[in-house]
A = this chain, B = another copy of it.
């Protein structure tokens, strides 16, 4: 059987059945784009970007509709609390509880046609990446995209720890002294290490022309990096202003380009984009470069 015969056959199969096929053929992505999407539900805390934002950006960039449950319905918060309830061992659809939000609920895609519930930001992004066409063109790109997104999310965690280095359950005011030490290290050593890495990735990916981390089109690694850069600019404006000159591909090409992408551009000026407040990215002037 020739590759093109196999491809035609597979295309017909994917069009006519419910199960998902993923292959290394980039031409398959056309099929994925046109499929009908289930009514995705994001389960996350209301009123903050938080880790839910990485999921929102994937949906907004792909133009696929989703319900931002706790922001869109009055009692939506109950669904968030329910999926992570301390006494939950398994839900009525056969899903394990979430350790913490965000979670993604996908009606019809779980066991026996019930709702599927996934948790953990990178796992949700890996799942959605395939469905939304934001996970590259082949298996290599798919895994590089996941790896880069994981690295950005590691940076996201380190930024969170600048105001909570000792205990996530305590107030910033109870760990200010340690926070200053942690923030100093993150600003002076960790941020330049991460930015230097992504500057090199952009440089190495010629096909992306500085606009994409992997290949020649937008992926969830790009939207994830964009949001952390945006959050860093909010949290550490002086530090980032100084750093921008060091990482020109990131700040002169990648950053402005991603926020002009179809879907993202409209979203970022809409009232669906939540302002930063007391979440991961917080602006404490004393933690910024002095």
CB atoms of B166 and A144 under 8 A apart = no
A8 within 8 A of B: no
Cα–Cα distance between A184 and B87 once the two chains are bound (Å): 25
Q: CB-nearest residue of chain B relative to A144?
A: B96
Q: Return the chain B residue nearest A114 by Cβ.
A: B140
Contacts of A110 in B (CB 8 A): 140
Count contacts on A: residues with CB < 8 A to the other chain: 69
| A120, B97: Cβ atoms closer than 8 Å | no
Integer count of this chain's copies in the complex: 2
Q: Does A19 contact B13, Cβ atoms closer than 8 Å? A: no
Pick the residue among B90, B118, B167 that contacts A147 (CB under 8 A).
Answer: B118
Out of B127, B146, B204, name the residue touching A90 (CB < 8 Å): B204
Q: How far is the CB of A122 from chain B (nearest CB, A)?
A: 6
Tell whether A88 is near chain B: CB-to-CB under 8 Å: yes
Say yes or no for A24: interface residue by CB 8 A criterion.
Answer: yes
Which one of B22, B86, B154, B197 lies within 8 Å of A97 (CB-CB)? B197
| CB of A221, distance to nearest CB on chain B (Å) | 10
Whether a CB of chain B sits under 8 angstroms from the CB of A191 is no
Say whether A171 faces chain B, with CB atoms less than 8 Å apart. no
Does A20 belong to the interface (CB within 8 Å)? yes
- The docked-state distance in angstroms from the alpha carbon of A143 to that of B151 is 19
A6 partner residues in chain B, CB cutoff 8 A: 13, 17
Contact B151 A201 (CB under 8 A): no
Q: Is A242 an interface residue (CB 8 A)?
A: no
- Interface contact B185-A166, CB-CB below 8 Å: yes
Q: Report how far A167 CA is from B165 CA in the complex, Å.
A: 10
Tell me the bound Cα distance from A146 to B99 in angstroms: 13
Q: What per-residue 1/0 map shows which CB atoms of A129-148 lie under 8 Å from chain B?
A: 00000000011100110111
* Complex CA–CA separation, A253 to B121 (angstroms): 30
Interface residue A116 (Cβ < 8 Å from any Cβ of B)? yes
Task: Point out which of A110, A143, A161, A181 has the most chain B C-beta atoms below 10 A from its C-beta.
Answer: A143
A274 at the interface (CB under 8 A from B): no
B1 touches A13 (CB 8 A): yes
Which A residues contact B (CB, under 8 angstroms)?
1, 3, 6, 9-10, 13, 16-17, 19-25, 86-90, 95-97, 99, 109-111, 116, 118-120, 122-123, 126-127, 138-140, 143-144, 146-148, 150-151, 154, 157, 161, 165-170, 178, 181-182, 185, 189-190, 194, 196-197, 200-201, 203-205, 214
Q: Can you name 19 A-B pairs with beta carbons within 8 Å? A: A1-B13, A20-B22, A20-B139, A21-B23, A89-B204, A90-B205, A96-B205, A96-B214, A97-B200, A97-B204, A111-B138, A118-B147, A119-B147, A122-B122, A122-B146, A165-B178, A168-B185, A169-B185, A170-B185
